[in-house]
Every structure is written in C-alpha cells, then in structure tokens.
Chains A and B, each alone.
Chain A
Amino acid sequence: MTTDTTVIAPESGNGAARKERISHLIQQHGALMVLFALIVVGTFGFDSFATPENAASVVVASSFTAIIAIGMTFVIISGGIDLSVGSLFVLGGVLAAWGSQYGAVVALLLPLLACGAVGLAQGLLIARTGMAPFIVTLAGLLGVRGLMLAISDEGATTYLVRDRTFAALGQGEILGLTYPVYITIVLALLGMLLLQRTGFGQNVYAIGGNEQAAALMGVPVARTKVYVYLMSGLLAGLAGALNAARLSSGVTILGIGLELDVIAAVVIGGTLLTGGAGGLTGTIAGVLLLGVIQSLINQVGNLTSSFQQVVSGAFLALVVIAQRLLSKAQRL
C-alpha cells in the first residue's frame, strides 16, 4: 500500500512501523523475557534452583513487595511517586500486631484505616495544593518512620501477633503457597481490570500522559490522584499486615528502603518513571525478577546478600538505558 488514499498514514514507513512495534513489545514485556531467561539459566546452572521449595520461597517472599508495587504502578503511571510505602508497610505491620489482641478483624482493619488515612492525606495535599508528590510522600516517609520509632521505643519493643486466625492469614497454605500469594494474585488481576478496563484506569493514563490535556478533556484530575495515593497507602498497609501475620510479629526495622525496591521493580517492569505508560503485568514480572536475582545470588553461595543490591542496581540502570533507547526508536 502506498500513500495516495484518504489514509492519513503515520510518518514512518512499514519497516519503521515494524521496528516500532517490536520495540514497544520489548518495552512492555522485556522484564518477562529476562525473567524467563534467568529461570532457564538458574535451572541448568544450579541443581537446587528449580525445586518446588525454592520456587515457593521466591514467590512467597515476593508477594508482599508485589502488593505494594501494584499501588505504586498506578501512582507512577499517573505521573507521581510514593516514597511513603516503606514506612506505611512497617506501620501496617505494627498496628496489625498490636491490634491482634482485639481479634483478627481489628488486626486487619486498623492498618488499612491508618495507612489509608495517610495515603488519603498525601493524595489530598498533592491533588489540591499542587505540591510535588516527591516532597509530600518524602514527608510521609519521615513522619511515619518517626512515629514508628516513637511507639516502639526506638525499635526496642516488638509487638507480637496474639490472634490465631489472623496469623493463619499469613501462614496458611494451599498447594505449598501461603495465602498472601493468592491474595496478591487476586489483587493483581483486579488491578489489571481497573487499569485497563475502567474509566478510572484510563484517567490515570491520561493524567500521566498529559495532565493539562486530561483536565481539558474532562478528566477529574484531582479526584483521580487522591484515589491513586489512597490506594497506594491501603495496599502498603495491607502488605504490612499480611507480613506481620506471616512473621507473627510487627517488626519496626523492616521496610527501610523498601519503597526503592518497589519503585525499581515497577520501572524494571516497563512503566515509565515519567508517567503515562506501563502496566501491571510488567510490574509483577519486575518483582519476580528481583526475587529470582536474589535467589540466584543465594545459590552462588559465597556471595553476601548485599551483592544482590549491586546486581539489582546494575540491572535497573540497564533497564532505564534500554527504555530510553526504545522510546527513541518508537518516536522516529
């Protein structure tokens, strides 16, 4: 097909179009491809890698990060960032453990209420006053962390989970996988539905893609942003509560720097840090990828786990470079 029809053909020719499609594909599913590659390498390289136990432990450990990353994906696609999730994760854990003395329902609702409130407050500040998400959520991170140190006597007090039912929520298993894994799967599926198939999801993309245009197209920008940060806060609190149930205690020192791991996973999953593009499939792949890297490093044995951060960091740098190249290829 050549040019002279009513077709208003895009600027690029067919070859370029194919190239663009491929680079788009890599951008979206790159993390998934690398994940498979690493699993193959691990399977052939290490005997103890492809065992059901190891696979289960990677998946179980990843599930908490994944829950937070779901919320973070929405935040980043909307063009924002949420640095408070690490602190909220801890807050959720401690409140769940403390609340468990009053039963499972309180243990679950209390962290959701508290973390949801923090998320809501941050969302309102960001949406209504136009303050930068980075600043607002950095304040959230510091504030909540300070609060945690205060109620735990600088980390000296550890609250234990007193309710069996609640502990079972984190420890119970089906087919060798704990409940949180299934909860994560359900949340991820719901998230995908929300992101791809509802007006809310479309609004999130539109705001991240071009906030001003979105507003003029009639997107309720402020309300959407508030929901996004509220959701992120809720999910961080939930992850914290589930983690407390798994460990039978709320530990205050965990979760420092967790927000960065989560952001890394989201970005590795192909969501643009500048907003407007990305998705949850990538995010889940990103989370698992970081889990697998850690597991592989453990297999190598004589390397310390700090080495995992070096690898993750290097990997993140690679991804960001690749994203730049890919989006350049798509623009032509």
Chain B
Amino acid sequence: MGTTDGPAAGKAPDGLGPVLEARGISKRFPGVLALDRVSLALRPGEVHALVGENGAGKSTLIKVFTGVHRPDEGELRYRGEPASFATPLDAQRSGISTIYQEVNLVPMMSVARNLMLGREPRNRFGVIDAARMNAEAERVLAGYGVETDVRRPLRTLGIGAQQMVALARAVSIDAKVVIMDEPTSSLEPREVATLFGVIRRLREQDIAVIYVSHRLEELYQVCDRVTVLRDGRLAHTGDIHELERIQLISLMLGRDVGEVRSGGLTRFSRDRGRAVTAEPVVEARGLKRRHVLQDVSVSVRPGEVVGLGGLLGAGRSETAKAIIGALPLDSGQVIVAGSPLRRRTTAGAIKAGISLLPEDRKAEGIIPTLSVRENIALAALPALARAGVVSDARIDQVVDTFMKRLRIKASSPHQKVSELSGGNQQKVLLARWLAMQPKVLILDEPTRGIDVGAKAEVQALIDELAEAGLGVLLISSDLEELVEGSDRILVLRDGAVVGELSGDEVTEERIMASIAEHSSTNPEEADAHG
C-alpha cells in the first residue's frame, strides 16, 4: 500500500514550491495523539482533498495550520518560510482563510455584518457605512445564489444559506489558501454546484484549496490530489484520479479492498416494500402553512421506512417540524396510533412517541459541556427506567452498545462531547435519538458529516429499528441512501406532495423524474425581479 510520495512528486508542475506545508506535525490532546508526524504539501492552484474517518485528525490538522492549535512537534511552512500563527486572525491576515466545521458565524448578527465583520466599509469619518455595507453584502451574496434581506439576523436563514454566507466570507477575504472543512455537509445539490463553481474560480486564480468531505463522489469532481489520514497518521498522498473510490475507502478504513467491496457501500439489507398492513403509527393530514406547506399528508406504518425526497425548500424539514409540533400550522392534524394530538406542542408529540433528529444539530441538540454518556442517556432515561429508577449499569450498557456500533471515537464515555471530532458529535446525537425507543422516529439527514464506515452502520441500525416495529420517516439529500433505505418515498416540491413511489418504483431516476416533471409549470429561475 502506497504511503507518502517521493520528493519528486512533491514538486508542482510549474516549478513553484508548496504554498503551505506541514512537516512531521504531531498534536497531542489529553488521552489521544490526534496527529502523529503528519506531513502535507499544498501547491498553489490545486484543490487538495483531505479525507479520513471521523476522528482521524482532519480538523485538528486544519486548526494547526490556522493557529487555533499549536503543534507539539514538527514545522509549518508558508510560502517557503517557516511560519507559526499565534491566532486565527494571524493566519487570516497572512492569507489563509478558513471555513471551520462546527462553528462559523454569529447567528444573532445580521447577514451583512457576519459577512463583513472585520472589514466593514468606512465613510470618510472612519465609521462604518451601513448602507454601503448592506449593498456590498447583497451584491456579494447574489454571486452565490443567495438573495435575501441582508439586514435580517443570520439565524433566520436556512443552514444551507448560512453555509453559503460563510463561504462567501472566506472567499472574499483576499486569500492565498482557502481551507474548507466539510463545506457541503449541509448544502443542497444546487448549492454544491455553486460551491464547485467558486472552487474552480479559485483554482484559476492560483489559490490553493484544502477540501474536507465525507461525500467521496464530490472529491472526484473537484479535487486534484488527496491526502488520507487514519488514526492521526498519514496513510496516503497522491493524485486522486489514480485511486478508485473503493481504494480510497479501504485506505480510510485501513481494510483490504476486497473486504470493503464485499461489505458494500450502503448497509441497508432488509426486504424492501413488504406489504405492511397494520394501522399507521403516525399520520399527518393536510398540513398547511402559508408559503411553506400546501396540504401535505404523510402516514407511516409500524415497521415501515418512509422517505421524503425533494430539493431545497421543498418542505421536507418543515414537514418533519410540523409533525413534531415545532412549526405552527394554519391547519392540519397529526394522529399518533389512532388518536389525534390535541395540543400541538413538541412536548406533547414526544410524549405520544414521536421523536425528531433535527437537521440543525448545532443549534438544537448537543450539550457540549456534558459527557458522551450523559448526552446519550439524557433523553433515553424515561425509556430505560423501571418504576422510575434507572440503574447505572443499564445506562452503561446502552451507552456502550451505541458507542461500539456507531464507532464513536472518544477516550472514554466520560469525555466531554465538545472534545470529540465533528462527526463523532453527530454520532452521539444520533445515538441519543436511537436510544430513546420511540414509536416513530423522524430522521432529518441522519448521516450528515458521518464517515463511510459509520454511515453503513447507521443505515443498518435504521433497518433494525424498523424490523423491530418502529415507524421511520427518513429525510436525506443523499439519493442513494434514500432509495436504499426507504420502503416508500414521497416526493415533495414547493411544499406539496407531487409523487409517491413504492415497490420497484423506488429508484433514483424516478425521484429525479418526479421532481423534474412538476417543475415545468414553474417560471424559469432567477432574475424575475431584475
């Protein structure tokens, strides 16, 4: 198996040396060696993929590059000189611009202020020129397909749009190197296309890009070279097009290609579309909210996985939120196991047995200062209790099971969640919801940010839960996952159900066709308001 390139491969074709380079970097956190003598050379004008399992050390390496962490060992070189950045601000000023994985922007500040923070346009008295700032922000964002009132607080945008703001911010800073840590994990296909356009533009300007993603097919679309990390060590560096996808995966997981191939890429294995005859565990009837949902009805039977397909703004997450009672409705009804929910509150829905893994996990879920164990057990306590008493042993057992199955990489169950890698935090949240044992589980993008290995495990778990009689409503932008996982798929568009696929009809092509079919009635995109 190939490890690092020889020195010859480290030279850029045009004779330029690397713009940013790590040489033998090690970084130790209490209990883990996050980086173990890792080297990476980034050439000007290349898009360099950085991949590895959750917790492999990708974000840590990035944070070493940008002055968030100090390396314990090794050397950084920037533009041919040894470099050491004391703070992210230092790195940014020298021309290294970064979109971090977990925290990006300030939700309560306006979109424009987030975008321009630190380089607001001034008038001749040296104070911020708000009108110009807003106009400028509007202009910049329009280039990224985001048209919105830039004076609104950032948090009122969808997360995809927020991510585009972060991207616009990172790119509009005059940079030599742009680092993107999982920029697409919350983007829709159309936004991803915009992002790739931006990346290609950067490449033309000889700007180097480090690109982290768990969506492997994307890497092949935009990246030139790839570096694979495994358990904090360098596993491979080289041209990405010399590696097949399956080889890449085997490098990440550290297993044989043959072994990976036989395991398959998704792990859904249950018989699809068995005739389920039981009464629905949950049924939503005629959910309506002006401009958001137009008469959406969904029902899920026990043991059934129902997928929701559609593009951004189709109303998938909104449907989920409406069912759980987190989105006020103009009209509509939710019926759980035969009895309608009287008062539409989230607490009521949870009590009736519905639980929702929300799309925006940063805002709604993780409690960073608590341990992995506490975060998992938190919501599951009632389900685990016998006569109101929960034994520690029982919690340990549940926590242990999920940590093993989802391969949550933590030094112990008592480690603080904030110290885990981004993907592992996602897994902890997922474990919390899976451990809750509800009647109906609504999963909004369950495998976002999760590596290939664990993804298969999550999918297997969803299957198992359905086998055990749970009703699952699955939302995923990953069509493959949606198709493999669902018994039945409802296709949404503009807040309305435009198609239902079941049995053999459940294919990626049929979903795309169903979406496209119903878009012909809509006006051509954009510039309608000139």
A binding-site residues for B, Cβ under 8 Å:
1-15, 20, 193, 196-199, 202-203, 205-206, 209-210, 212-220, 276-277, 330-332
Contact = CB atoms under 8 A, between A and B. Distances in A.
Interface stretch (B7-15, B154-162, B450-458): B154-162
A11 B117 contact: no
A219 B118 contact: yes
B108 interface: yes
B106 A214 contact: yes
A4 B494 contact: yes
Contact of B164 (A7, A8, A198, A214): A8
B521 to A, nearest CB: 10
Contacts of A215: 87-88
Nearest to A15: B290
| Interface residues of B, dominant DSSP | loop
A203 B158 CA distance: 24
Contacts of B340: none
A8 B312 contact: yes
Nearest to A276: B108
A10 B519 contact: no
Nearest to A208: B108
Interface stretch (B71-79, B142-150, B267-275, B380-388): B142-150
Nearest to A8: B161
Interface in B121-167: 127-128, 130, 145-148, 152-153, 155-158, 160-161, 164
B290 A14 contact: yes
Interface stretch (B96-104, B247-255, B423-431): B96-104
Given A13-B289, A210-B103, A217-B118, 17 more contacts: A4-B494, A5-B526, A8-B148, A10-B152, A10-B157, A10-B158, A11-B158, A13-B292, A20-B156, A199-B120, A199-B128, A202-B113, A205-B113, A213-B106, A219-B89, A330-B153, A332-B327
Pick from A197, A205, A277, A331 the residue with the most CB of B within 10 Å.
A197
Pick from B87, B98, B130 the residue with the most CB of A within 10 Å.
B87
A179 B153 CA distance: 39
B356 interface: no
11 contacts: A3-B313, A3-B494, A8-B146, A8-B157, A205-B109, A209-B108, A216-B98, A276-B109, A277-B108, A330-B153, A331-B155
A205 B106 contact: yes
B526 A6 contact: yes
Contact of B290 (A7, A13, A210, A330): A13
Top 9 A-B pairs ranked by shortest CB distance? Answer: A13-B291, A209-B106, A197-B127, A218-B89, A8-B161, A276-B108, A213-B103, A209-B108, A197-B128
Contacts of B327: 332
Contact of A216 (B68, B495, B522): B68
Pick from A6, A12, A20, A332 the residue with the most CB of B within 10 Å.
A6
Interface string B308-326: 0000110000100000000
Interface string B284-298: 000001111000000
B516 to A, nearest CB: 13
Contacts of A11: 156, 158, 292, 318
A202 B128 contact: yes
A214 B88 CA distance: 10
Given A197-B130, A210-B106, A210-B107, A2 B291 contact: yes
Contacts of B120: 199, 202
B213 interface: no
Pick from B107, B128, B148, B191 the residue with the most CB of A within 10 Å.
B128
B528 interface: yes
B327 to A, nearest CB: 7
Nearest to B157: A10
Contacts of B109: 202, 205-206, 209, 276
Nearest to A331: B155
B117 A212 contact: no
A203 B128 CA distance: 13
A10 B148 contact: yes
Given A216-B88, A216-B98, A217-B118, A4 B523 contact: yes
Pick from A1, A5, A11 the residue with the most CB of B within 10 Å.
A11
A214 B87 CA distance: 12
Given A202-B113, A212-B103, A8 B494 contact: no
Contact of A206 (B87, B106, B130, B312): B106
Interface of B: 68, 87-89, 92-93, 98, 100, 103-109, 113, 117-118, 120, 127-128, 130, 145-148, 152-153, 155-158, 160-161, 164, 169, 191, 289-292, 312-313, 318, 327-328, 494-495, 519, 522-523, 525-529
B89 A8 contact: no
B68 A5 contact: no
B148 A9 contact: yes
A209 B107 contact: yes
Nearest to B159: A11
A332 B328 contact: yes
A295 B290 CA distance: 48
A209 B153 CA distance: 11
A4 B518 CA distance: 12
Contacts of B92: 218
Nearest to B314: A3
A1 B527 CA distance: 12
A105 B407 CA distance: 69
Pick from A4, A13, A196, A217 the residue with the most CB of B within 10 Å.
A217
B118 A218 contact: yes
B89 A213 contact: no
Contacts of A193: 127
Contacts of B528: 5
A215 B327 CA distance: 33
A218 B95 CA distance: 12
Contacts of A5: 147, 525-529
Contacts of B108: 205, 209-210, 276-277
A219 B148 CA distance: 25
A7 B88 contact: no
A230 B107 CA distance: 27
Given A20-B156, A209-B109, A332-B328, A219 B117 contact: yes
B292 A217 contact: no
A297 B328 CA distance: 42
A196 B128 contact: yes
A289 to B, nearest CB: 24
Nearest to A275: B108
Contacts of A210: 103, 105-108
B89 to A, nearest CB: 4
A227 to B, nearest CB: 16
Nearest to A332: B328
A196 B292 CA distance: 34
Contacts of A332: 327-328
A330 B141 CA distance: 23
Contacts of A212: 103
Nearest to A277: B108
Contacts of B117: 202-203, 206, 217-219
A11 B319 CA distance: 12
A213 B104 contact: yes
Contact of A4 (B87, B146, B519): B519
A198 B113 CA distance: 11
Contacts of B160: 8
Contacts of B88: 215-218
Contacts of B292: 11-13
